[in-house]
Amino acid sequence: QKEVEQNSGPLSVPEGAIASLNCTYSDRGSQSFFWYRQYSGKSPELIMSIYSNGDKEDGRFTAQLNKASQYVSLLIRDSQPSDSATYLCAVKGYSGGSNYKLTFGKGTLLTVNP
Amino acid sequence: DVKVTQSSRYLVKRTGEKVFLECVQDMDHENMFWYRQDPGLGLRLIYFSYDVKMKEKGDIPEGYSVSREKKERFSLILESASTNQTSMYLCASIISLGRGYGYTFGSGTRLTVV
């Protein structure tokens, strides 16, 4: 069973700080990695994707991937109260007829305090 | 703007009823997915479809079936609803991200079985 592990939190940071969210995965053959943000009562929204080792930056968000350590992280700089949400890590595997199946972690609840 | 539409936002059904959850996507993609999301358990894959009339079981298919008669529509069927199927149900399909792809989710159906 392929697994994706995240700290459930809650992770609490003050406004303006850097929030660091972490994720590990069990399948060494995984190739694609995603971060989703989910506000309470809403559906998940894709915020970052990363495919190669290293960092990928998009605005205040940076995704970091280390395939050797089977580790992916999301950094949120200058955290805002509007960033308060659950963050889901997702990893692409391959299963049967679909090359698009994702396995999700259980999510980390982030709270940004004004 | 790509869209995945789930027909109902909230549903209340009785134990033993046959329940249909509908999902329509306008992205012309072959792959569609049904997940359920429960507190502490995260997103769990029920079924997915990689083409019309093609389907594959996910991690928790028991008590569910699916139908994919047209490319744009993927239906989840609860053959005989039970209280342990009370959950948030999320449909997803694929969006292109240039180099890669990601999931986009519908707004979800919160099903309560009484």
Q: What would the pLDDT profile of A103-114 be if each residue is shown by its tens digit?
A: 899 999 999 999
pLDDT band of B1, cuts 50, 70, 90: low
Q: Report CB contact under 8 Å: A51, B104.
A: no
Write down the mean pLDDT value for chain B: 93
As a whole number, mean pLDDT of residues B91-100 equals 83
pLDDT at A84 (0 to 100): 97
Q: Report CB contact under 8 Å: B107, A90.
A: no
- Which residues neighbour B96 within 8 Å (Cβ) at sequence distance 6 or greater? none
As a whole number, mean pLDDT of residues A31-46 equals 94
CA nearest B4: which of B35, B46, B38? B35
Sign for the pseudo-dihedral over CA of B59, B65, B68, B74: negative
pLDDT (tens digit, 9 = 90+) per residue, A58-67?
A: 999 999 999 9
User: Is pLDDT of B29 > 70?
Assistant: yes
- Report whether A112 contacts A83 (CB < 8 A): yes
Phi, psi of B48 (to 5 degrees): -140, 165
Q: Report CB contact under 8 Å: B50, A96.
A: yes
E strands of B2-114, at which residues?
Answer: 4-6, 10-13, 19-25, 32-38, 42-51, 54-57, 64-70, 73-78, 87-97, 100-105, 109-113
- Report whether B73 contacts B55 (CB < 8 A): no
Q: Report CB contact under 8 Å: B103, A97.
A: no
User: Is pLDDT of B69 > 60?
Assistant: yes
Sign for the pseudo-dihedral over CA of B84, B108, A98, B64: positive
User: Is pLDDT of B63 > 90?
Assistant: yes
High-pLDDT (> 90) share of chain B, %: 76
pLDDT band of A98, cuts 50, 70, 90: low
Interface test with A, best of B21, B43, B105 (most A CBs within 10 A): B43
Distance CA B113, CA B82 (A): 6
Of A92 and B65, the structure prediction assigns the larger pLDDT to B65
In chain B, what residues touch A49 (CB-CB under 8 Å)?
97, 100, 102
As a whole number, mean pLDDT of residues B22-50 equals 93
User: Is pLDDT of B73 > 80?
Assistant: yes
